């Protein structure tokens, strides 16, 4: 499924020509109101005009300029389907939250099964003196059905040594196998199907050469030094990332194969990966070195979309982090900026449920938009991060989701995002919702991790 992968795509050098030009977008905040000039563009971060123009020239069908963003009206997270205004925290919790969750299940990600009865955990490695004695490493095989060895996923866990009580931890899926997050020779080499074109992948299998290949995205020692555990799973253990009509991975374990067609709201791959994160949490809750009530779930890009859906569908996650998740993640679909619903459904027909394809080119007909996904985290803290050159993921659309989720937080007596406009480059704004746009491209950098750990310090360590 290579179609539109950007991890390796070259970005413009024209950034050197950075000009701070005003860009006037249009959007309306509430149902019924006429489109208003977007005053949030008055200060703070703006996309480099040189980069936007260069990308527009190279991809004329894609919106990279703020003035091309269509006028739109966002659905109101605080207006129930029957038109009732949601005015109390109880109304949100008892009625509206469930309504929105159901809309996302039905129209976007699809319906995942609940925790399987046959779920089992096998600790296959425990090394108390890992990473020069600074950490305890564990590896755990999670099996999804009784009496079946496949499919199964492996959870790699590092816990800081010298801890006095169970630690809070970050949990995220990885793209290249657990062994890619650190060169530690004790990490078991991934055995599942791997995407081609990655370091050390031969015939879709990992080789020793891929050990540590993704370590720049996983500053394990720094995370441990801050007192957090870290847990990760290779996403392909749950469902290989290519379209095979849902024959491999976890889908066939639970799908009713006697049906002639999969239901249009059957779970896609993002829902399966998110379900896998919940199964990893099922294990973490049993591990006495880890505090299962203080788990931050995070992910980058397609795995950022996944982290958001995991956080929305499983309220046990105490904190949620989306790194450059873009379309189908934190970015508003109605802006049609960068990647659109149609583009993502064509490039990755297996990611979402079949119903989502009905909205190709018809974003305004969606009963939700992605600010409502962010709102589903409330009252839990959620952090959304963008990258300056990652216009495909629409940094402004990601910010606006955080902003327009805020009324729900405020209804619950919390701050939401304490900003009206985008912060400048490399400066975070943090309330119960956090946001930053970092210099550079589509990636996870130490800068991102430092903000996430500061945010977690405030919200998880304090507990």
Binding residues for ligand GTR, per CB under 6 A?
A: 4-7, 301-302, 326-327, 339, 344, 347
- State which residue, 228 or 352, has the beta carbon closest to ligand GTR: 352
* Residue 294: φ, ψ to 5°: -130, 55
Largest distance between two CA atoms of the chain: 62
Please list the residues that pair with 320 across neighbouring strands: 297, 382
Nearest distance in Å: CB 137, ligand GTR: 27
Nearest distance in Å: CB 176, ligand GTR: 12
- State which residue, 278 or 347, has the beta carbon closest to ligand GTR: 347
Helix (H), strand (E) at residue 140: strand 135-143
| Residue 442 annotated in active site | yes
Q: Are 318 and 380 in contact (CB under 8 A)?
A: yes
Spatial CA neighbour of 354 closest among 423, 228, 269: 269
Nearest distance in Å: CB 352, ligand GTR: 11
Distance CA 274, CA 424 (A): 32
First vs last C-alpha separation in the chain: 42
- State which residue, 6 or 458, has the beta carbon closest to ligand GTR: 6
Which whole-number Å values give the CA distances from 9 to 196, 386, 437, in the listed order? Answer: 15, 17, 20
Distance CA 141, CA 121 (A): 6
Nearest distance in Å: CB 238, ligand GTR: 15
Nearest distance in Å: CB 174, ligand GTR: 12
Task: Tell me the three state secondary structure of residue 121.
Answer: strand
Spatial CA neighbour of 279 closest among 346, 228, 233: 233
240's CB contacts (< 8 A; 6+ apart) are 192, 193, 248, 249
- State which residue, 3 or 114, has the beta carbon closest to ligand GTR: 3
Nearest distance in Å: CB 59, ligand GTR: 12
- State which residue, 77 or 236, has the beta carbon closest to ligand GTR: 236
Nearest distance in Å: CB 1, ligand GTR: 9
Distance CA 423, CA 418 (A): 10
Which whole-number Å values give the CA distances from 321 to 137, 310, 370, 387, 391, in the listed order? Answer: 24, 10, 14, 14, 19
- State which residue, 173 or 223, has the beta carbon closest to ligand GTR: 173
Per annotation, catalytic residue among 12, 210, 269, 301 = 301
- State which residue, 160 or 326, has the beta carbon closest to ligand GTR: 326
| Residue 216 annotated in active site | no
- Residue 245 gets the label, from left (phi > 0), alpha (psi -120 to 50) or beta, of left
Distance CA 31, CA 217 (A): 40
Per annotation, catalytic residue among 300, 436, 442, 459 = 442
Nearest distance in Å: CB 47, ligand GTR: 17
What does the buried/exposed string (b/e) look like for 26-41 if buried means 16 or more CB atoms within 10 Å of the residue's CB?
bbbbeeeeeeeebebb
Spatial CA neighbour of 391 closest among 299, 449, 322, 327: 327
Q: Are 456 and 170 in contact (CB under 8 A)?
A: yes
Distance CA 29, CA 324 (A): 23
- State which residue, 38 or 339, has the beta carbon closest to ligand GTR: 339
Catalytic amino acids?
Answer: 301, 442
């Amino acid at each position: 499924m290579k179609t539109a992968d950007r991890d390796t795509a070259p970005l413009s050098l024209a950034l050197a020509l950075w000009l701070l030009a005003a860009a006037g977008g249009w959007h309306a905040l509430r149902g019924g109101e006429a489109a208003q000039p977007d005053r949030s563009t008055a200060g703070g971060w703006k996309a480099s005009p040189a980069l936007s123009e260069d990308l527009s020239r190279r991809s004329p069908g894609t919106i990279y300029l703020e003035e091309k963003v269509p006028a739109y009206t966002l659905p109101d997270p605080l207006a129930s389907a029957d038109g009732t205004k949601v005015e109390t925290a109880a109304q949100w919790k008892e009625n509206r939250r469930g309504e929105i969750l159901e809309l996302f299940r039905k129209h976007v990600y699809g319906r995942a099964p609940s925790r399987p009865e046959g779920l089992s955990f096998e600790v296959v490695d425990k090394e108390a003196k890992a990473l020069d004695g600074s950490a305890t490493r564990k590896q755990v095989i999670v099996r999804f059905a009784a009496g079946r060895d496949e499919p199964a996923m492996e959870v790699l866990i590092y816990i800081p040594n010298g801890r006095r009580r169970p630690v809070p931890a970050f949990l995220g899926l990885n793209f290249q196998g657990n062994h890619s997050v650190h060169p530690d020779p004790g990490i078991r080499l991934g055995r599942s199907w791997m995407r081609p074109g990655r370091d050390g992948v031969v015939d879709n299998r990992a080789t020793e050469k891929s050990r540590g290949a993704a370590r720049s995205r996983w500053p394990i020692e720094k995370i441990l030094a801050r007192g957090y555990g870290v847990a990760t799973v290779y996403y392909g253990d749950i469902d290989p990332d290519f379209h095979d009509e849902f024959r491999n991975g976890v889908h066939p374990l639970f799908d009713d194969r006697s049906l002639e067609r999969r239901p249009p709201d059957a779970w896609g791959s993002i829902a399966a990966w998110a379900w896998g994160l919940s199964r990893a949490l099922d294990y973490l809750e049993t591990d006495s070195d880890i505090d299962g009530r203080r788990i931050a779930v995070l992910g980058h890009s397609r795995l950022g979309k996944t982290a958001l859906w995991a956080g929305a569908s499983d309220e046990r996650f105490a904190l949620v982090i989306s790194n450059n998740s873009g379309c189908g993640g934190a970015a508003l679909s109605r802006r049609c900026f960068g990647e659109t619903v149609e583009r993502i459904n064509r490039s990755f027909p297996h990611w979402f449920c079949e119903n989502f394809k009905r909205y190709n080119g018809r974003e305004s007909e969606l009963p939700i938009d992605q600010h409502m996904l962010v709102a589903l985290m409330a009252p839990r803290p959620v952090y959304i991060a963008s990258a300056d050159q990652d216009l495909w993921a629409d940094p402004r659309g990601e910010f606006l989701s955080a902003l327009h989720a805020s009324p729900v937080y405020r209804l619950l007596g919390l701050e939401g995002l304490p900003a009206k406009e985008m912060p400048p480059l490399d400066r975070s704004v943090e309330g119960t919702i956090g946001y930053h746009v970092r210099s550079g491209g589509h990636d996870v950098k130490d800068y991102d991790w430092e903000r996430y750990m500061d945010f977690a310090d405030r919200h998880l360590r304090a507990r």
